[in-house]
Amino acid sequence: MGLEIDVHGLKLSYDTQPVLDGTEFKVERGELVALLGANGAGKSTLLRCISRILQPTGGHILLNGRELQQFGSREAARLMAVVPQETAADFDFTVEDIIMMGRYPYLGRFQKEGQTDQEIVRRSMEMTGVSHLAERSIATLSGGEKQRVIIARAVCQQPEVLLLDEPTANLDIGYQSMLLELAARLNREHGVTVIAAIHDINLAVHHFNRFILLSGGRVLVAGRAEEVITAENIQKSYGVPASTYRHPLNGVLQVSVVRGRSPSDGLNEGPPVHVICGGEEALPVLEMLIQAGSRLSIGPVSAQDSGCRFAHFHSLPVIVVPPFTNMNGAHKREHMEMLQQAEYVIIPPIQFGEGNLPILETVEMILEEGKAVYIIGLAGIETRDYSGGKAAEALQRLVEHGAMVLESAEGLASLFCVRGEKENGA
Amino acid sequence: MKPLFIAGLALLLLFTMTIAMVLGAVSIGWKNVLTILYDALPFSQPIPGAVIAPVYQDILLQIRVPRVLLSAAVGSSLAVAGAVFQGLFRNPMADPYVIGISSGAALGAVIAMLGGFRLAVGGFGAIPLFAFLGGIVTIMLVYSMARVGRAVPVMTLLLAGIAISAFLSALVSLLTYFAGERLHQVIFWLMGGLGGATWRQVKIMIPYALVGYICVSLFSRELNALLLGEETAKHLGVDTEKVKKILMIGASLLVAAAVSTSGIIGFVGLVVPHFIRLVAGPDHRFLLPASALLGGSLLIATDTLARVIIAPSELPVGIITALIGAPMFIYLLKKRKKLRYFGGGG
């Protein structure tokens, strides 16, 4: 089951603009492959070459070692089914009619659709969950339903290879997952080789196990998610700074575009600000401050902390404490120095426990030296105080010594918005 | 359901044929018509006691019967060709003349008329011969102009057809302007009509119609697939370039044969396929035979009206087809509200 596809030095140009420029890769039988790459990287063009819509000007596509162009139309359609991004369906065919068309490559010119064909249509509809739509007109279906019908037709073709060209582009998130899960099921249960061009990397990572990243009509890298989806590769192919992380629920690799900073952004012009970190709650504060152009430093966090990742991504000074250890004397001294260099110290609504109580003591010392300290969101401290009230007391002491309390992080924006002032002034 | 519908349409065709033979400037009487028809059948025994004036026999057998048969063949051909072009171009506005066959045929016919050619091939006069050739040459020209590499995209085909059609129409107008005393003949031909139908025309028309019809109906399933778009059809295993060519040839034969025998009769080819789709859906395996039957009936009925309405003179049948077809079509549209069977959206 499944077919092996060998793409060898494929070339194709639209006018003089090369779209495929020596594309080369191999898909083993029964693989579940996602084609990734920026708009214009050649994903669709590549798929349209494999599905015989476009004729490459150079190179070869081999199916099980045999040149693709040597297959007859019907023979190719018995091996390969295609699910396009969208199918025109503005006429009154019933869903069953549409799916039955998948039997076309199996029927002789004078042959009527028989019992077997009916049975295959029925099974395809069951598998894709469209049986209840059988008598409906395709024109009356929603985008998601229509796409499932097209998958059903592809199933009905009983292919060895299923090509999907951005099949989820117009679907809501529910249908997106369902559709890709269907493709994955065909791969698992019937050994069908699946190649899908997908825009949404994070969606693709959930459903596929092999990835081919295209860039400028060539394969930049191919392999497992960890090998392909790296910040560096994403930058190369899509031209945007990105950061990868694990999905909090299932640990699947995810990628996210990050707003990078450039020297012209007015950074390093704002006041030096130190933020006490530890936990996700600090992130919105950090993001807001960095957008506002503050010179940030980040205070003691463990290596796995989101604040630490933020600091590394933006190359900010940070004090890193090894996981599962308390701050030692050296850390404290280092922190003190950092605090002294800052003009403002911010305490976001993070969680407190015995581990990070000493930080508040250091802040208290610096407060007495006359440094401006802002505490964000003192209300509800009891829900994030795991030190039996000690943290609440410590924060209260800070307030008594002159720390200012802001209700939410939004208040900070007006305090530190250097760039905003510049823009308003201009 | 569908076989019943086809049977109903076949009955309708027989019924209109009979009515059309009974009606006319000379009243023959339906009993006499049936008797003459029965007598004309091979191996039939003469009915005792029935004496019918020979002039009635001549009017019926030499004038009305060939005219009815020719109407049926022309109407069917136009309706089937219309259905094929609408499906091929996925465009509800397409009709049998959309890619210029009519203009080509008209140019051929007008040249034959103005040139006063007298040649005849196999009993076929110069005008139908030139019209037929004009239509076929035009199609070949359009097809070769629309070629992009090895493929002929339907959109280019449509556009090339419209362009050539406009050009040829201008030539026809130009020639018409200089037609002089032949002006009436030219105008009359352009309006289309079935007057003067002969058995010879029937015998020439019917083989073309049959070949064309068989040609396109063998590819009904491919036409269905093409309705989903050319790429989808290819994905399903349709050899689209070959199929398009065959469908074009088949439909062009139908139209060229129809135009060369009866001029340009509008509306039948546009309206009939739509009518069938509205009632029974877009499946070409049903649409083509149903269009053939209904197209035949419609043209017989309108032609009959054209010759009895101001008898003993005749109106050009194209006027009647448009006068009856358009309101009928609009009524259907209104009644169904939505044209969702074909490009009308939700």
DSSP collapsed to 3 states, B259-278: HHHHCCCCCHHHHHHHHHHH
Give the model's pLDDT for residue A268.
60
Nearest 5°: CA angle at A126, between A125 and A127? 95
Q: Which residues contact A252 (CB under 8 A, 6 or more apart)?
A: A205, A206, A225, A246
Show the domains of chain A with their CATH numbers: 5-257 (3.40.50.300), 263-421 (3.40.1190.20)
The reply to whether residue B236 touches residue A97, judged by beta carbons under 8 angstroms, is: no
Give the model's pLDDT for residue A224.
92
Distance from CA of B202 to the nearest CA of A (A): 30
Total residue length of chain A? 426
Select the residue of A91, A94, A101 nearest B236 (Cβ to Cβ).
Answer: A101
| Count of CB atoms situated within 10 Å of the CB of B5 | 16
Q: Does B90 touch chain A (CB under 8 A)?
A: yes
Most A CBs within 10 Å: which of B154, B224, B235, as the mutation test of the A interface? B235
Distance from CA of A207 to the nearest CA of B (A): 24
The runs of H, that is alpha helices, within A12-57 are 43-50
The stretch A156-181 carries a mean pLDDT of: 90
The reply to whether residue B231 touches residue A53, judged by beta carbons under 8 angstroms, is: yes
| Count of CB atoms situated within 10 Å of the CB of A351 | 17
Which of helix, strand or coil describes residue A328?
A: coil
Residue A177 has pLDDT above 50, yes or no: yes
The reply to whether residue A139 touches residue B221, judged by beta carbons under 8 angstroms, is: no
* Cα torsion through B252, B258, B264, B268, rounded to 10: -90
Q: Which residues contact A151 (CB under 8 A, 6 or more apart)?
A: A83, A128, A167, A179, A182, A183
Beta strand A193-197 pairing with A32-37: parallel
| Residue A345 · residue A292 · CB < 8 Å | no
Q: Does B280 touch chain A (CB under 8 A)?
A: no
Give the model's pLDDT for residue B344.
42
Nearest alpha carbon to residue A335 among A313, A308, A362: A362
| Residue A55 · residue A11 · CB < 8 Å | no
Select the residue of A87, A105, A140 nearest B237 (Cβ to Cβ).
Answer: A105
In chain A, count of helices (H) and strands (E)? 16, 18
Q: Which residues contact A52 (CB under 8 A, 6 or more apart)?
A: A68, A69, A76, B234
Give the model's pLDDT for residue A426.
36
A424 confidence band (pLDDT: 50, 70, 90): very low
| Residue A345 · residue A276 · CB < 8 Å | yes
Show the domains of chain B with their CATH numbers: 2-336 (1.10.3470.10)
Q: Does B281 touch chain A (CB under 8 A)?
A: yes
- Both structure tokens of B313: 């003179």
Distance from CA of B281 to the nearest CA of A (A): 6
A312 confidence band (pLDDT: 50, 70, 90): confident
The reply to whether residue A77 touches residue B281, judged by beta carbons under 8 angstroms, is: no
Q: Which residues of A touch B217 (CB under 8 A)?
A: none
Select the residue of A55, A139, A157 nearest B340 (Cβ to Cβ).
Answer: A139
The reply to whether residue B224 touches residue A93, judged by beta carbons under 8 angstroms, is: yes
Classify residue A388 as exposed, middle or buried by CB count within 10 Å of its CB (0-12, 13-18, 19+): exposed
* Cα torsion through A30, A36, A41, A45, rounded to 10: 40
Lowest model confidence (mean pLDDT) among A44-48, A84-88, A125-129, B257-261: A84-88
The reply to whether residue B221 touches residue A92, judged by beta carbons under 8 angstroms, is: no
Q: Does A88 touch chain B (CB under 8 A)?
A: yes
Select the residue of A53, A105, A109 nearest B236 (Cβ to Cβ).
Answer: A105
Percent of chain A with pLDDT over 70: 94
The stretch A295-320 carries a mean pLDDT of: 84
| Residue A252 · residue A398 · CB < 8 Å | no
Q: Does B238 touch chain A (CB under 8 A)?
A: yes
Q: Does A97 touch chain B (CB under 8 A)?
A: yes
The reply to whether residue B342 touches residue A98, judged by beta carbons under 8 angstroms, is: no
Select the residue of A77, A91, A107 nearest B341 (Cβ to Cβ).
Answer: A91
| Residue A349 · residue A392 · CB < 8 Å | no
Q: Does A54 touch chain B (CB under 8 A)?
A: no
Q: Which residues contact B116 (CB under 8 A, 6 or more apart)?
A: none
Q: Which residue has the higher pLDDT, A203 or B310?
A: A203
Q: Which residues of A touch B244 (CB under 8 A)?
A: none
The reply to whether residue B232 touches residue A87, judged by beta carbons under 8 angstroms, is: yes
Q: Which residue has the higher pLDDT, B248 or A426?
A: B248
Q: Which residues of A touch B344 (CB under 8 A)?
A: 90
Angle between helices B126-145 and B240-262 (to 10 degrees): 150
| DSSP per residue, A46-99 | HHHHHTTSS--SEEEEEETTEEGGGS-HHHHHHHEEEE-S-----B--BHHHHH
A292 confidence band (pLDDT: 50, 70, 90): confident
Peptide bond into B128 cis (omega under 30): no
Q: Please state, rounded to an integer, the average pLDDT across all residues of chain A.
A: 86
On the CB side of A50, how many CA atoms lie within 13 Å of its CA? 35
Q: In the 8-state DSSP scheme, what is residue A352?
A: B
Nearest alpha carbon to residue A100 among B284, B236, B280: B236
Radius of gyration of the CA atoms of chain A, in A: 29
The reply to whether residue B228 touches residue A137, judged by beta carbons under 8 angstroms, is: no
Distance from CA of A98 to the nearest CA of B (A): 9
Q: Which residues contact A56 (CB under 8 A, 6 or more apart)?
A: A10, A11, A12, A20, A49
**Max alpha carbon distance in chain B (Å)?**
72
State pLDDT tens for residues B291-333. 999 999 999 999 999 888 887 788 888 888 888 878 877 877 7
Q: Which residues of B touch A75 (CB under 8 A)?
A: 237
Give the model's pLDDT for residue B295.
96
What is the rounded CA–CA span in Å between residue B18 and residue B13?
9
What is the rounded CA–CA span in Å between residue B287 and residue B295?
11
- Both structure tokens of A415: 């305090």
| Residue A83 · residue A147 · CB < 8 Å | yes
Give the model's pLDDT for residue B342.
52
- Both structure tokens of A233: 């590769």
Lowest model confidence (mean pLDDT) among A48-62, A92-106, A234-248, A255-269: A255-269
Report yes or no for ipTM above 0.90: no
Q: Which residues contact B1 (CB under 8 A, 6 or more apart)?
A: none
What is the rounded CA–CA span in Å between residue A200 and residue A254?
10
The reply to whether residue B235 touches residue A82, judged by beta carbons under 8 angstroms, is: yes
State pLDDT tens for residues B259-293. 888 888 888 998 899 889 888 888 999 999 999 99
Distance from CA of A92 to the nearest CA of B (A): 4
Select the residue of A52, A72, A137 nearest B234 (Cβ to Cβ).
Answer: A52
Distance from CA of B284 to the nearest CA of A (A): 11
| Count of CB atoms situated within 10 Å of the CB of A111 | 11
State pLDDT tens for residues A381-422. 888 888 888 888 888 888 888 888 888 877 777 776 544 444
| DSSP per residue, B39-86 | HHSTTPPPPTT----HHHHHIIIIIIHHHHHHHHHHHHHHHHHHHHHH
Distance from CA of B268 to the nearest CA of A (A): 21
Q: Which residues of B touch A104 (CB under 8 A)?
A: 221, 225, 236-238
- Both structure tokens of A365: 């010392």
Low-confidence ranges of chain B (pLDDT < 50): 341, 343-346
Nearest alpha carbon to residue A314 among A295, A301, A299: A295
Query: Which residues in chain B (148-187) have CB-CB distances under 8 A to chain A?
Result: 150
Distance from CA of A106 to the nearest CA of B (A): 9
Nearest residue on chain A to B241, alpha-carbon basis: A73
- Both structure tokens of B212: 């064309």
Distance from CA of A72 to the nearest CA of B (A): 8
Q: In the 8-state DSSP scheme, what is residue B340?
A: T
| Residue B223 · residue A60 · CB < 8 Å | no
What is the rounded CA–CA span in Å between residue A220 and residue A37?
9
The reply to whether residue A93 touches residue B282, judged by beta carbons under 8 angstroms, is: yes
What is the rounded CA–CA span in Å between residue B330 and residue B345?
18
* Cα torsion through B291, B292, B295, B299, rounded to 10: 180
- Both structure tokens of B166: 């406009």
Give the model's pLDDT for residue A264.
44
The reply to whether residue B239 touches residue A104, judged by beta carbons under 8 angstroms, is: no
Nearest alpha carbon to residue B254 among B343, B136, B126: B136
Classify residue A136 as exposed, middle or buried by CB count within 10 Å of its CB (0-12, 13-18, 19+): middle
What is the rounded CA–CA span in Å between residue A401 and residue A390?
17
- Both structure tokens of A363: 């802040």
Q: Does A91 touch chain B (CB under 8 A)?
A: yes
CA distances A390 to A356, A376, A394, A406, Å, are 11, 18, 6, 21
Distance from CA of B342 to the nearest CA of A (A): 4
Q: Does B282 touch chain A (CB under 8 A)?
A: yes
Q: Does A90 touch chain B (CB under 8 A)?
A: yes
Amino acid at position B288, single letter: L
Give B265's strand partners: none
Q: Does A74 touch chain B (CB under 8 A)?
A: yes
Nearest residue on chain A to B219, alpha-carbon basis: A109
